[in-house]
Amino acid sequence: MSSPPVTKTTRFWAGVMFFVLVLITVALATAGVYRWLNDAQRLPVQTVVFQGELEHIDTARLEDLIRAAQPGSFFALDVNEVYALLEQQPWVYRASVRKQWPNKLTIYVVEQQPVAHWNDDLLLNPYGETFAGNNELDSLPKLYGPGGSEKTALQGFNAMQTILSGAALPIDELFLSERFAWQITLANEIKLNLGRQEFIDRLQRFVDIYPLLKAQPRAVEYIDLRYDTGLAVGWVDDSKTSEKV
């Protein structure tokens, strides 16, 4: 007794079933590999290494944040997400992230360099960019100004400090008003009112005459330099009066 002939329809459906079985096998294998790769117990990230000159950053805290955000295996860890997480941290200025086979994550961090306080609640880096940090850095000068004037205030501070450094007179506080008028308080508590225009020339005038003022028997409280020539001096022992020099 002969077997029934194989028709084109039979061959077609047999091919379809074989193709479906192949797809199912591939899907199951892919799912298995995915589960295996994401099994942190199989291929965990065992070591997180931080590099860079770090003074204010708590690397143990950063590692905890990374592991909490990326709990999967070495293969599943997304370096772009780790990078984004690091860039959100206030003391991180720049960062790079690299995975190293078989279980190591290397992170290079450029830490923020604080140069001044800004409006009592933020810090400024050397580029005039603000960031949140602790306010326990008492040695830093204090800068104040309207929002958006950070770079202007820092540039003015740097220019003034360059002039004052020759006289060993560090700036303790700098105020930039809404009208962009400058006032500074020196570390010796002398207050200087420089106004809006030609504030560098006015500050140089103060430096030139400071040795004469320092030789006086009375201590200087404030100096108003908003004059074309000369300046007005207020003395500590008689703050209600001032003297034009």
Of 111, 134, 155, the position where a domain reaches its end is 111
**Stronger pLDDT, 203 or 32, i.e. the higher one:** 203
Q: What are phi and psi of 193, to 5 degrees?
A: -100, 110
Q: What are phi and psi of 182, to 5 degrees?
A: -105, 135
What pLDDT, in 10s, does the model give residues 116-157?
Answer: 999 999 999 999 999 998 767 889 999 999 999 999 999 999
Is 151 found in the same domain as 75?
no
Is 153 found in the same domain as 79?
no
What pLDDT, in 10s, does the model give residues 166-199?
Answer: 899 999 999 999 999 999 999 999 999 999 999 9
Could you give the number of structural domains in the chain? 2
What pLDDT, in 10s, does the model give residues 14-54?
Answer: 676 767 777 777 666 565 556 655 554 567 888 999 999 99
Residue with tokens 């005039």: 128
Of 111, 134, 163, the position where a domain reaches its end is 111
Is 158 found in the same domain as 125?
yes
Is 206 found in the same domain as 180?
yes
Residues 226 and 211 sit within 8 Å (Cβ to Cβ): no
Quick check: helix, strand or coil at residue 114?
coil
Closest CA to 86 of 114, 115, 54: 54
Is 121 found in the same domain as 107?
no
Is 90 found in the same domain as 139?
no
Is 239 found in the same domain as 176?
yes
Provide the CATH number for the domain around residue 139: 3.40.50.11690
Residue 230: predicted pLDDT: 85
Is 207 found in the same domain as 169?
yes
Q: What interhelical angle do 150-165 and 199-214 show, nearest 10? A: 40
Residue 7: predicted pLDDT: 67
Q: Which amino acid is at 231?
A: L
Is 222 found in the same domain as 126?
yes
Is 131 found in the same domain as 187?
yes
Q: Which domain holds residue 87?
A: 47-111
